């Protein structure tokens, strides 16, 4: 049920089905192509329990979920069948032009992402078979080995047919016609004809002999062109004959055109691209490892790694190994090590907890919480992660580390993909990246910041901490568990205008996510205590504090919207955590005129333990002065 509800809320928050051009998922993210990214409510998405955060890469809007992303995606397409169709994802909307390079990356990602389960399973099986033969647990000549080998090799050999189906869905072509094109190229007699060594022609036009088994680029180009051929033919055929003639003409055109022109061209491009990258990895050695290893996190963030997917798959299918994949493992270990360094260096207990947990998830191959939630937030740990990855990458490629299968996971669970003759070099690179990143993070240090209301709510209201991209680091609030023991009344903490909390222009307060309460638009830059009790916490930036009265009512008073960015400028606190207070005591003074120049000065007063009360009622709205009763909490 939670996956279904999450799927519904995500679709609603991205602007509804009508705003979605296409959607697919990778290992950890839903990747949307929206008609208008501005319609997506990122704040609402980040509030969902299963959503770790959001990210925009080029034109692509990403919702980071983690390991449950396939289940959420399945519920999404079940609830909204229209989202299964990706044809609309290739049409420009409202005349908006897209970056061509980014469009290519996104297209490649959209084609290969649905195929990853089959490719990953086959790749891991091939790696395990190689391990079993090396350990002499299985002989290569047995029937068992040959059957298992067919399972692993079959996916790669018939890769053009898998690509045909997936590419057709991406390009808006009939997937079964596309598979027909791939099947014709893979037909045994076609392979025998092209490999015979004799000249081959079609209607007296020479056909270049090319092997299509395990190929990637030729069939990708063929299905892209097929999508235009099919649509063109469809426009000229009368409706009663479409079912018969459109598939027939499309196949009769595309198979010969592919054999004569597209296949040789695609093979040339694919071989050139693979050859160039493999030459760089083979000949560059240490230098290539340092440069690519250090830059890998940036490559992944921009989506450029998807451009290499065809090369990686082609290498695995034809060479039996790939040298680029180990760098993805090493980069992930760099992110994991950096967050572990944050754990050792941080002073705040909550930040330590978040850093340690995200370091573990990065070790398991899910790096988004570590990279976006911690390392990029504090910048220096992200730099340390790149330094560690550069060191590990240099070591690995200096010794020729290889991956022998596409494991589908760049962490510890994906290690079977590295099993082979160079396993220990790849593993050594991972260890180096992890250790160096952790040590450099500890040495460089970072600046811990005070948190704002959205994050502090986790500590006060006993909610789990959220880890979201670019989120401020959580701050521990030492508050002893307590329950309200009697009805309580709070008095106006400032002079000005009292307004309903729902009118605050901040969803954290306006939607009462932290609890019920009241808000004020002050006319005097002074905050006095609305109750008698104890100061539980004063934010380092002095713009907010938590107090508890003698009957257990907990109040968060937050002066202004986004005033945490002032870092304490224009604020002066007159109390500190642990101080006893009486109603009317001065808590805080602030320069109202200076702050109001750039910030909304509306001040929220929220009962953070709202759940302890039957109801919380504003007693007065409109003009108020210090000390007037404004809020009552009833058990």
Active-site positions? 26
* Burial environment of residue 347 by CB neighbours within 10 A (0 to 12, 13 to 18, 19 or more): exposed
Distance of CA 362 to the CA centre of its chain: 13
For 27, list phi and psi in degrees, rounded to 5. Answer: -70, -35
Check if the beta carbon of residue 329 is closer than 8 Å to that of residue 430: yes
User: Whole-angstrom Cα distance, residue 49 to residue 2?
Assistant: 9
User: Whole-angstrom Cα distance, residue 541 to residue 40?
Assistant: 31
β-strand pairing of 554-559 with 544-549: antiparallel
Secondary structure of 594-616 in HEC code, one letter for each residue: HHHCCCCCCEEEEECCHHHCCEE
Mind giving me the DSSP string for 201-225? EETTEEE-----TT--HHHHHHHHH
User: Whole-angstrom Cα distance, residue 444 to residue 486?
Assistant: 50
User: Whole-angstrom Cα distance, residue 596 to residue 523?
Assistant: 11
CA dist 409 → 34, 117, 209, 377, 430 (Å): 27, 11, 37, 24, 14
Mind giving me the DSSP string for 524-588? SSEEE-SSSEEEEEE-TTSSEEEEEETTS-EEEEEESSSGGGGTTTTEEES--TT-EE-TT-EEE
In which element (H, E) is residue 497 found? strand 496-500
Q: Of 564, 563, 457, 561, whose CA–CA distance to 506 is shortest?
A: 561
User: Whole-angstrom Cα distance, residue 344 to residue 347?
Assistant: 8
User: Whole-angstrom Cα distance, residue 564 to residue 453?
Assistant: 9
């Amino acid at each position: 049920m939670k996956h279904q509800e999450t799927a519904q809320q995500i679709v609603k928050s991205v602007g509804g089905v009508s705003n979605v051009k296409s959607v697919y998922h990778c290992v950890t993210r839903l990747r949307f192509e929206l008609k208008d990214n501005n319609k997506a409510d990122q704040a609402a998405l980040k509030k969902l329990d299963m959503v770790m955060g959001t990210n925009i890469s080029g034109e692509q809007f990403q919702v980071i979920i983690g390991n449950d992303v396939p289940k959420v995606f399945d519920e999404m397409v079940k609830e909204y069948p229209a989202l299964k169709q990706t044809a609309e994802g290739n049409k420009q909307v409202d005349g908006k032009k897209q970056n061509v390079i980014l469009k290519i990356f996104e297209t490649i990602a959209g084609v290969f992402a649905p195929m990853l389960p089959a490719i990953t399973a086959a790749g891991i099986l091939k790696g395990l078979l190689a391990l079993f033969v090396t350990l002499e647990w299985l002989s290569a000549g047995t029937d068992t080995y040959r059957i298992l080998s067919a399972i692993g090799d079959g996916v790669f050999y018939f890769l053009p047919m898998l690509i045909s189906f997936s590419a057709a869905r991406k390009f808006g072509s009939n997937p079964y016609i596309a598979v027909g094109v791939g099947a014709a190229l893979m037909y045994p007699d076609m392979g025998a004809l092209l490999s015979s060594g004799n000249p081959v022609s079609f209607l007296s036009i020479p056909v270049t002999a090319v092997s299509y088994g395990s190929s990637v680029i030729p069939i990708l180009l063929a299905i892209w062109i097929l999508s235009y051929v099919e649509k063109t033919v469809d426009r000229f055929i009368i409706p009663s004959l479409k079912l018969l003639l459109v598939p027939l003409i499309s196949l009769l055109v595309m198979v010969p055109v592919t054999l004569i022109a597209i296949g040789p061209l695609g093979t040339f491009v694919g071989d050139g691209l693979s050859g160039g990258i493999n030459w760089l990895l083979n000949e560059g050695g240490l230098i290539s490892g340092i440069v690519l290893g250090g830059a890998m996190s940036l490559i992944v963030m921009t989506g450029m790694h998807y451009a290499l997917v065809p090369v990686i798959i082609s290498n695995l299918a034809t060479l039996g190994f790939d040298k680029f994949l180990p760098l993805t493992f090493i980069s992930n270990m760099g992110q994991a090590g950096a967050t572990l360094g944050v754990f050792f260096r941080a002073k705040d207990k909550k930040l330590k907890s978040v850093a340690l947990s995200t370091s573990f998830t990065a070790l398991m191959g899910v790096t988004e919480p570590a990279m976006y939630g911690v390392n990029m937030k504090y910048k220096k740990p992200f730099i340390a992660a790149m330094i560690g990855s550069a060191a590990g990458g240099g070591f690995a490629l200096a010794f020729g580390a290889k991956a022998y299968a596409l494991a589908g996971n760049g962490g510890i669970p994906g290690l079977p993909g590295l099993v082979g003759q160079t396993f220990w070099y790849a593993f050594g690179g991972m260890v180096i990246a992890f250790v160096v990143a952790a040590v450099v993070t500890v040495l460089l240090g970072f600046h811990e910041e005070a948190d704002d209301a959205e994050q502090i709510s986790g500590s006060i209201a006993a909610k789990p901490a959220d880890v979201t991209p670019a989120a401020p680091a959580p701050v521990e609030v030492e508050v002893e568990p307590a329950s309200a023991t009697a009805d309580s009344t709070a008095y106006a903490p400032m002079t000005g205008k009292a307004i309903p909390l729902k009118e605050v222009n901040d969803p954290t307060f306006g939607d009462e996510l932290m609890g019920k309460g009241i808000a004020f638009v002050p006319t005097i830059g002074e905050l006095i205590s609305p109750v008698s009790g104890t100061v539980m916490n004063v934010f380092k930036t002095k713009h907010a504090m938590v107090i508890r009265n003698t009957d257990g009512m907990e109040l968060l008073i937050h002066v202004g919207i986004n005033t945490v960015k002032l870092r304490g400028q224009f604020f002066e606190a007159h109390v500190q955590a642990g101080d006893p207070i009486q109603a009317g005591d001065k808590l805080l003074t602030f320069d109202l005129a200076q702050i109001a120049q750039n910030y909304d000065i509306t001040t929220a007063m929220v009962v953070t333990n709202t759940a302890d009360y039957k109801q919380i009622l504003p007693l007065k709205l409109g003009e108020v002065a210090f000390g007037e009763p404004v809020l009552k909490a009833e058990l």
